[in-house]
Structure 1
Amino acid sequence: MFTHPILFLFLLLSGHIAYAQECVVLLHGLGRSTWSMHHIENSLEKIGYLVVNQSYLSREQSIKSLSEVVGDSILRCQQHKPSAIHFVTHSLGGILVRSYFQHHDAANVKRVVMLGPPNHGSEVVDKFKDSWWFKWLTGPTGQELGTNPESAPNQLKPIALEIGIIAGSSSLDPWFSSLFSGDNDGKVSVESTKLPEMKDFIQVENSHTFMANSRNVIMQIQSFLSSGAFAKPNRALISSN
């Protein structure tokens, strides 16, 4: 059942084995699909969580309209009468959660783990938003993710949930990385991921695209969902593996 016995032992000894009545919603990023969250889905199911890997058409609507998928996913969880609902998001998925809870009650939603969220926008959008290929790849959604004060992420207020943020600092794209002045994951700067209301934060040596596949990132997700904190400061836990 557990392919990584050391990870299982860590989770067992620290009380990180979940009860099935807790439900976790997974929200993928812009231009991605539920398959990009497949490793996270499998890992959480193996330790007892109910998992809703929510699909949505990320390139076809405004962020405000897309955020309603958060409500849809909560309803899917509530069918199982969970004691708590959590979210694990990649990139745009985190912005959708923040947008949704601007105007909706959190109810029994408790914790959110955000992977590489452009909480203050992305310099990649600033540079390429007027390019035809960027518009084609990202649709109207991508136009809203710049770093200017009027961008959708920068208009959002703090939300009353326990938020843990994982930021990547490794890039596979030197062209995009050249647009940033500091550490970044090739799409989002480390500083842009941060929120004043976040409960915990960790920086990992992973790229934006493949962060959700990292075994160590997945362990950090499990840690925060169960305890409200990341597993620190063991450097072995935040390597690129």
Structure 2
Amino acid sequence: MSDRPASANATQDGVVLLHGISRTARSFSKMQAALEGCGFATLNQDYASRRKALEALAEDIHPSIQRFADGIDGSLHFVGHSMGGLLARVYIARYRPKRLGRVVMLGTPNSGSEIADRLKNIGAYRAFFGPAGQQLGTQRGAAIEALFPPVDYCVGIIAGDRSIYPITSAFLPKPHDGRVSVENTRLDRMVDHVVVHTSHPWLVRNSVAIEQTIAFLREGRFKPSAVITRESG
């Protein structure tokens, strides 16, 4: 596991970026640059998403996040794409930062993924996505549910409603982003929820999603412009 260089000083808020399963920190490069351009310090954290379960991944990323948090005096925010949002929830439940700020999730299957339900028993899926892939379904046992206690912090969720996956799209209720239905991105006690016109892998690079992420980190609400649906908690 490695993490990309972080930029920080003692007066900034910090943002931890957590990519999705089978992705890398490079997927967040455009958003990272935008965040830094707006004055945030960033930690674009790589982790072995296909090799370990979520609870083990939270242990892996803790040392670098702790070092990053120790280097700033402002709030520590989290932005997670897809499974990265679930990892943020697991991490905060275990290692809640003293100055926890806001959390933005992009395309995160908070109620699980119907795609994972259909594929979890297929050998190729199990081999490729590993232990964490088995934790992404909609049917969660007690052990998995325990990883995700109710949120008591400020969460904003961005979902997509376009798909570039014609096969998996057939298994998802509309609207969806090709990997996760919009409905399953929602979360009890979320503060705000928006949907943008993009597909699952492009949520982290979409200009509207980036703009909305920055708005939520700054204000605790999404901007009303360029939003097709909105639900506030």
Query: TM-score, normalised on structure 2?
Result: 0.88
Q: In structure 2, the residue corresponding to 1:102 is in which secondary structure?
A: helix
CA contact (8 A) 1:147 1:154 kept: no
Give me the whole-angstrom Cα distance separating, in 1, the residues matched to 2:142 and 2:151: 18
Cα distance per residue 1:84-121 (max 9 Å; x no partner): 11011101111111112223334101100000001111
- CA 213–238 in structure 1, closer or farther in 2 if over 3 Å, else same: farther
Deviates more, 1:223-232 or 1:100-109: 100-109
CA deviation after TM superposition for structure 1 residue 27, in Å: 0.4
Inter-partner Cα distance in structure 2 for 1:188 and 1:238: 17
Output the aligned Cα RMSD: 2.0
SS of the counterpart of 2:223? coil
CA contact (8 A) 2:11 2:74 kept: no
Following superposition, the deviation at residue 181 of structure 1 comes to 2.1
Structure 1 match to 2:71:
80
Distance 1:213 1:40 in 2: 6
How far apart are residue 47 of structure 1 and its match? 1.3
Q: 1:70 to 1:231 in 2, by over 3 A?
A: farther
- 1:8-87, aligned counterparts within 5 Å? 21-87=12-78
Aligned positions of 1:215-230 closer than 5 A? 215-230=207-222
2:160, 2:60 → 1: CA distance? 26
Q: Which residue of 1 aligns with 2:193?
A: 201
Task: Tell me the equivalent position of 1:150.
Answer: 141
Percent of pairs identical after alignment?
A: 37
Contact persistence 1:125–1:146 (CA under 8 A): yes
**8 Å contact 2:11–2:72 — kept in the other structure?**
no
Instruction: Return the match for 1:112 from 103, 109, 114.
Output: 103
Q: Which amino acid aligns with 1:160?
A: D
Q: Could you tell me which residue of structure 2 aligns to residue 163 of structure 1?
A: 155
* Contact 1:20/1:48 (<8 A) preserved: no
Matched, 1:214 2:215: no
Which deviates more, 21-30 or 71-80?
Answer: 71-80
- TM-score, scaled relative to structure 1: 0.85
Residues 63 and 152 in structure 1, CA contact (< 8 A), matched pair in contact too: no
Letter in 1 for 2:44: N
Unpaired runs of at least 5, structure 1: 1-18
1:81, 1:44 → 2: CA distance? Answer: 15
Aligned amino acid, residue 144 of structure 1: Q
User: Contact 1:145/1:151 (CA < 8 Å) preserved in 2?
Assistant: no
